[in-house]
Amino acid sequence: MVLNLFNILIAVGVMVLAVVLDLVLGDPSPNYPEKWVFKLHPTVLMGNFTRKIEPHFKNKDAKIEKFLGVLLGLTVIAAFAVPTFLGLWAIYTFVPFYFDIIIYAVIGIILLKMTICIKLETDWAKAAAKAIEADDLDEAKKYSHFSRRDSRTLNGSQISSAVIESMAENLIDFKLSPMASFALFGVTGAIAFRAINTLDGMVGFKDKEHINTGWFSANLDTVVNYIPTRFTALLMMLAAALLGKDAKNAWKIARRDHAKTPSRNHGWPMAAMAGALRVQLEKPGQYVLGDSLEPLTGEKILGALRIRDVTIVLWALLCLGVILVTRLFFLPF
């Protein structure tokens, strides 16, 4: 029992300190891909590894190529998750007691931090909001590209929309799901999730090149995020209520508009965010979420940040409960 309580404290400490470490250090900016800190980031390594081996999983026969797509996904996940598990297992097995805890905690904090991205997005969002409020669109456009759209023709409202949509989508992929994966399956789970999500971003497309090799990765990402995205939408409504935002409208828009996005999952938090802020979010030619009850301004970006932050806190509290249960029965690496 004492050991289980010790394991709980370690896991809680790893999660909390990983978040703190991200808030202090952030992530290397993709604006500078030549820097070594960017090249060595696990997400970048996963993406480069996927890009390098993908050609070896191609086949002229669609059925065979789909099967190879399964192998591609499992290969990338195993390439990063298995060494993580074995490395942490070796520390627990061969390093003397107490020293193993210290080494595990340090490595765990660093690895978990690398699956989470809060500070970089926060800095970009605040910079975009400031530029939009100053009517400096050239500056604001520098921070809208992480929404994967051409910013050259966007106006201030469209840039605000792009940034807010990205924050709502990234809330799952780069914050909540990694934390939940850690709570359930330890550091290995968080690394495995990052590999799954990276695979989806690399090959999970329906174009001719990836329709077969990427189908497994895309669907796997959908499955693992299915419950988190829907639960996140509910927590965002609670966060909106705590902040005095329009929680009732968030529920209305989430139910009405969640299916309008190409993603089966990310429409939920994006629509909930649009409703809570009482704005209309739009990706031209693809979807429109929410009603234009209030104008899209830089201040709305800051409002979205506040909702995001409270949602993260609420999610972290839930993860602490999950950690309590999982570490009472087993200690995942």
Return the structure tokens found at 104.
């595990």
Return the structure tokens found at 18.
């990983």
CB 130 within 8 A of CB 298: yes
Return the structure tokens found at 309.
């932050």
Instruction: Kindly report the length of the chain.
Output: 333
pLDDT at 151: 75
CB 246 within 8 A of CB 278: yes
pLDDT at 146: 61
pLDDT at 197: 97
Whether pTM exceeds 0.85:
yes
Residue spans of alpha helices (H) in 114-155: 119-133, 137-140
The SS3 of residue 82 is helix
Which residues are registered as beta bridge partners of 288? 282
Residues 83-121: tens digit of each pLDDT: 999 999 999 889 987 788 899 999 999 999 999 999 999
Structural domain spans, the chain? 2-329
pLDDT at 3: 57
Rg of the chain over CA atoms, in angstroms? 20
Which residues are registered as beta bridge partners of 281? 289
Say how far apart CA 275 and CA 290 lie, in whole Å.
6
Say how far apart CA 6 and CA 24 lie, in whole Å.
26
Residues of the chain with pLDDT under 50: none
Return the structure tokens found at 57.
């999983």
- The candidate with the shortest Cα–Cα distance to 124, out of 97, 142, 103, is 142
| Amino acid in position 186 | G
Burial 74-111 (b: 16+ CB within 10 A, else e): ebbbeebbeebbebbeebeeeeeeeebbeebeebbbeb
Say how far apart CA 222 and CA 262 lie, in whole Å.
12
